[in-house]
Structure 1
Amino acid sequence: MSEAARPDKNEKQRRVLTDFVKAEAKAIGFDLCRITRPDAIPQTPERLAAFLGAGYHGTMAWMAETQARRADPRVLWGDVRSIVLFGLNYGPETDPRAVLEKPDRAAISVYARNRDYHDIIKGRLKEIATRFAARSKQDVKVFVDTAPVMEKPLAAAAGLGWQGKHTNLVSRDFGSWLFLGSMFTTADLVADEPERDRCGSCHACLSSCPTDAFPAPYRIDARRCISYLTIEHKGVIDPVLRVRMGNRIYGCDDCLAACPWNKFAAAASEMKLKAREDLNEPAIADLLKLTDGEFRAFFSGSPVKRIGRDRFVRNVLIAAGNSGDRSLIAPCRALLEDAAPVVRAMAVWALSRLMAAQEFETLSLYREAETDEAVLDEWRQAGA
């Protein structure tokens, strides 16, 4: 065989390593694994700058602080040559919006009804990375969500799916229900083709948003998003948005659940995460009574634990206020003496909605004893 006809040794090695990492991903339980280049998202810096410039990130200052690294993987790690994207299906067995019709129950986002996915995916990625590094003799780094990595545009560039009008990744096989993780490596791997946008004229995700968080298709204003409000936002929540939150106490699945592509998620791997039964439709009355210790114990290993008891109970009080359920008056009233001002403030709001005006006026002793300005402002707005 002539030198020209002999297969390129480097090309063969690229394909061997590419096949190896994909086989490892499948063996450990990932539903999708595809590869892209670090320069595959050239439009991201401009789009990220526009997002931040409009203030759509709200109080998430870390997004602006890490803007350069977030916009370009090569700034995050100059030696990276290939980026491997992994997808894990977490599609629910039933429509998660059903709980919205049960005002005495709390709606927790599907992704948070099990162990913290960061820990699960990070553990799997580390196993793959260890074996891949030993096989390839190349450097690797793994990331899951919390690092300054634009996983969704990278996943789209790798062909896992496309970014839908709700800005989340949509897969032909799993709809909008995919956890993402990534492995950066100095190895030169065979890149996959990107997926094209298949949303067409559909706007189901946009019209499903209860707080109108989408100023335009493919753009999201986090300051109006219930996921942001219940998880990232500290302090009191805009009263106009509170009434639209319904019984959503941690995250929101409405735009994800509305996606027509979810009908294909039935083909999900049996290795996907299963929800904790006690987190599917917990009773609001029970959640209102959680002390800090009880909260930590109940949500041990759950991503919900990260927001802390006070912010969580704030969210539950908003759900109570929206419920119209007078049986919640007693646990809400008990929280007027809570140590956390944000809890007391939302207790005032919830009671103002659950109680008749004359009945609410009997709570004036709590108002007179209050010293926190934010809580006093709630009393004033309630007309007490």
Structure 2
Amino acid sequence: MRTVFVFFAGNERGGAAAHIHTLARTVVRFGNPSRYRFVSLGSGPLADAIATTDVRLHKIEGGTLAAVSQLRQLLQTEREVLLHAHGPRMNILAALATRRRRVPWTSTIHSHPAYDFLGSSLKSRIYPKLHMWSLKQAMGLFIVQSSLAEVLPTRTVLDVPNAVDLPPLPRGRAECAALWRDRLGIEQDARLVGVAARFDPVKNLDVLIRAMAHLQTQNAHLLLAGDGEMRPTLEQLAVQEGVANRVHFLGFLNGMADFYGAIEIHVLPSKSEGTPFCVLEAGTYGVANIGSDIPGLRALLQDGRAGVLAPVGDVGALAKDIDILLQNEAERAKYVDAFSQRVLPDFAPQKMLEAYERGYTVLEEDILRSRQFTRSS
């Protein structure tokens, strides 16, 4: 049985970070912890979260050359290994670190590779090509959403679900909402809409801010949990649209339960998604979801049965969908119940771990057939 080295960025946030953290906890609770070693590139919130579990954790530091060298050395400490990377930069480093020694490696693809670097014109011209080059070197790839298989350069593509493993709400939903209204200094009858996402062009948060200016529900406020390079642009847009007093930039939050407990609707208007963890979180905490009508969200929201699907980039349609849900409690409850009954059972932590273990068995068979990989000495 090969030792699996799970390689990730220590400062990772968002859905991929939640996926990796859930995997670590699930390995301890339901799996074989001795088989796994978690490797963090640098420090940060994800590295800190993994450190609270009982998995073996190693940290490597430095730029590209130093990280590649340290990763190579770490892989040599076990006789038979499989490197499992998460994220574009980690995939590039994995390809470089394993190429000389011909160590097998894989990755979980959490998002469409073409959309990973839209926030930087320079990176968007260079890194997608490097990333796709690296993926060609992988033994096979895991995907969290089936449509991602169409754009990947490997023959072996393996499905793995995201998983939900969240603490219960610390207080009732009405109390959560009152708490956030007090924090924000807004009226106690304000209606709260929110989204948890990184501020990246792929998330289309500008569409959501523009939609706030078209709402018929005048006391609706938007809570944006997250951060990123687009924050100044989005803040200026809120001013331009005349909704700055109703759009609240919360930054990254430590613990999301109160946030989801406070909002009535979670809106994710993205251009592209895998299986977004924020939608799973919202549904788990009893929030009705609106998502853009793209493959990842269409599948997750059961073609509109477990949440509303809005046309991509359509400000007017999105505003109308938000208004309808805000004004119809029974409709919100219908979507919350459907999500709980139809969606969440497929995202149990055990199912994620079982999918990985099945995938590792497939990759092991491919490795044995290829005979090109060496054992670490």
TM over 0.5: no
- For normalisation by structure 2, the TM-score amounts to 0.25
Which has the greater radius of gyration? 1
Structure holding more strand per residue: 2
Say which structure, 1 or 2, has more relative contact order (CA 8 Å, 6+ apart).
1
- For normalisation by structure 1, the TM-score amounts to 0.24
